[in-house]
Amino acid sequence: MDDIRVLIADAQFLVADALGSALSAKDELTVLTDHPHRATDALHAVDRGHPEVLLVDYWLPDMQGPTAIRELLQRAPEAKAIAMSWFHGPEQVQATLEAGAVGFLPKSLGVAKVAEAIHRAHAGEDPVFGEQLAGFVDTLRARAQAVDDIADRVADLTAREVEILQMLSTGASASALTRHLGITEATVRTHITRILRKIEAGSQLEAVTLARVAGLVS
């Protein structure tokens, strides 16, 4: 089995060099000799070294982690990106995962754990450690799944039903809908009943909220 090619991009020279040396001593890992400290340099390193796993500092000086990861993965779409940071919260984790990273590791992890995370990411497994961080990731993944579920529910809405939802989101009443759409109030209420049934909403307010999550209304 060929070694996994790893690129480390870290704002701190000593961290990048020390981590690179320690990981190079691990079996089945080849750490590229380039240890870029800026995202722009990391982009060039990706082009030269064709890494399979990217360890990316969230706080690079010229580009924050999510932006850097997004651009790096455009250059190397088959690579697996893992963000690392001393300081992180749910916002940083969410932004990083949305950018395409497969994990977010605290820099307090030991080298053995980082090496394990690299192997897990390369194998398509979850490279997350720590109960708190794992909890963040689970919450975000559940939220993403919920959005997917909502998108499935609204997919069957007709153009007229979407139009009615958009008007409801502005606070329009049934009588206002009647005047605007040129239909009877009974027909408006029939449309609303169908909307609620299709998207499994218990009220017009819930229907509008779900439509906002799905991006149908602003």
Lowest mean pLDDT among 19-33, 105-119, 165-179, 201-215: 201-215
pLDDT tens, residue by residue, 93-118: 778 888 888 888 888 888 998 999 99
Cα(10)–Cα(59) distance, integer angstroms: 8
User: Does 14 share its domain with 120?
Assistant: yes
Is the Cα torsion angle 125, 128, 134, 137 positive or negative in sign?
negative
Question: Which pLDDT value is given to residue 77?
Answer: 93
Question: Which pLDDT value is given to residue 199?
Answer: 86
Is the model more confident about 135 or about 92?
92
Q: Token pair for residue 204? A: 């017009």
We report the CATH number of the domain holding residue 190 as: 1.10.10.10
The answer to the question of residue 142 being in a domain is no
Cα(144)–Cα(126) distance, integer angstroms: 16
- CB proximity list for 208: less than 8 A, separation 6 or greater: 165, 168, 169, 217
User: Does 123 share its domain with 167?
Assistant: no
Q: Taking residues 154-170, report their average pLDDT.
A: 88
Tell how many helices (H) and how many strands (E) occur in the chain: 10, 5
pLDDT tens, residue by residue, 69-101: 999 999 999 999 999 988 767 778 778 888 888
User: Does 27 share its domain with 119?
Assistant: yes
User: Does 48 share its domain with 114?
Assistant: yes
Question: Which pLDDT value is given to residue 51?
Answer: 96
User: Does 78 share its domain with 115?
Assistant: yes
The answer to the question of residue 98 being in a domain is yes
Question: Which pLDDT value is given to residue 96?
Answer: 85
Q: Pick from 111, 137, 163: which residue ends a domain?
A: 137
Asked if residue 34 has pLDDT above 70, the reply is: yes
Ordered DSSP codes for 46-109: HHHH--SEEEEETB-SSSBHHHHHHHHHHH-TTSEEEEEESS--HHHHHHHHHTT-SEEEETTS
Asked if residue 174 has pLDDT above 70, the reply is: yes
We report the CATH number of the domain holding residue 35 as: 3.40.50.2300
Q: Check: CB of residue 206 under 8 Å from CB of residue 198.
A: no
* Residue 200 DSSP one-character state: T
pLDDT-derived band at 142 (thresholds 50, 70, 90) equals: low
Residue 85's domain comprises 4-137
User: Does 210 share its domain with 158?
Assistant: yes
Asked if residue 30 has pLDDT above 70, the reply is: yes
Q: What is the largest CA-CA distance in the chain?
A: 76
- Specify the pTM: 0.62
